[in-house]
Amino acid sequence: MRERSRSSGRQGPRVEASYAVLIPSKNGEATIEQTLRSVFSQTVSAREIVVIDDASTDATPRILERFPQVTKIRLEHKLPRDFARVPKLINLGLSRVSEPCSYVMISGDDSLYPNNYVQLVLEEFKKDSQLYVCSGSHTKQKVFDQASPHGSGRIIRYSFLKEVLPFPESIGWESWILFKAQQKGGRIKRIASASYQHLRPYGSSSVWTFGQSMYELGYPFWFILVRLAKNIMTEPNKLQQLTMLGGFLEFKLKRKPKLDISDFVGRSQVQRIRKILRR
């Protein structure tokens, strides 16, 4: 797909960059078409868009046929939805991305982007050569860490990404890439000016898996307790917050293996708390 730039009604620097979009999907019939149309409407066009269909049993494959420009990869097994499978799908999609490519955008199949979303994020990369991962902000859901890029809508500098691939096929893959960027001396960022919609809400299962990923990433147990106490005080759904602790303890009791970034994460959280206490 040839890249082009169009006016979005917002004055700003012209962005010239090639990027690919990867969209893992499973039974996304309710949202996948809206997501694709919003990606196609961007003022800076993607060079290629790859959808990795995880054996959808609904109308997702038929909807994808309406988009001949999209590269489609389909897995045929019939396994239940599993957050830990998403990085496997992304690794498959990355294997189809042709080089040279400056950036890779990872999107859920349930995200709706304004037409200048990619332009705004790429402008941040142009300002900072050490920015490795950046995203906008989704509008409906309150996030766990206000400083970190979101999972859907994040754009990654491809030169950095090639150094650390493949993504670990693990529940903690989303945060793994952020800590890898910091470990490599890069920066991560989330910008409020580029907002987008998440069409499916987070549920208690998402909070449970968040606790599991924190264990795999190497978060200290005391940090989980501090975060849990903060969330219980500030979040309306107190019971849902307890599920984060449940997910962490489940993996701790099962002695699940931790990711290669776990020592770095543990040290980072200690340093973070020390900075807070010195203020």
Is the backbone peptide bond immediately before 166 cis, with ω within 30 degrees of 0?
yes
How many whole angstroms separate alpha carbon 244 and alpha carbon 224?
A: 8
What pLDDT shows up at residue 271?
Answer: 85
Residuewise pLDDT in 10s, the chain (279 residues): 433 333 333 444 455 689 999 999 999 999 999 999 999 999 999 999 999 999 999 999 999 999 999 999 999 987 767 778 999 999 999 999 987 899 999 999 999 999 999 999 999 999 999 999 999 998 754 444 446 898 899 999 999 999 999 999 999 999 999 999 999 999 999 999 999 998 887 655 678 898 999 999 999 999 889 888 887 888 777 777 788 899 999 999 999 999 999 999 999 988 877 776 676
| Long-range CB contact pairs, 256-260, < 8 A, 24+ | 256/212, 256/215, 256/216, 257/216, 258/215, 258/216, 258/217, 258/218, 259/168, 259/170, 259/172, 259/176, 259/216, 259/217, 259/218, 260/168
The closest of 107, 127, 261, 262 to 189, measured between CA atoms, is: 127
Q: Is the preceding peptide bond at 87 cis, omega within 30 degrees of 0?
A: no
**What's the confidence (pLDDT) of residue 143?**
43
Domain ranges (residues) in the chain: 19-198, 204-278
Output the pLDDT for position 14: 53
pTM of the model: 0.87
Q: If you search the block for the tokens 């599993």, which residue do you land on?
A: 82
* Fold held by 19-198: Spore Coat Polysaccharide Biosynthesis Protein SpsA; Chain A (3.90.550)
- As beta bridge partners, residue 222 has none
How many Å separate Cα 181 from the centre of its chain?
14
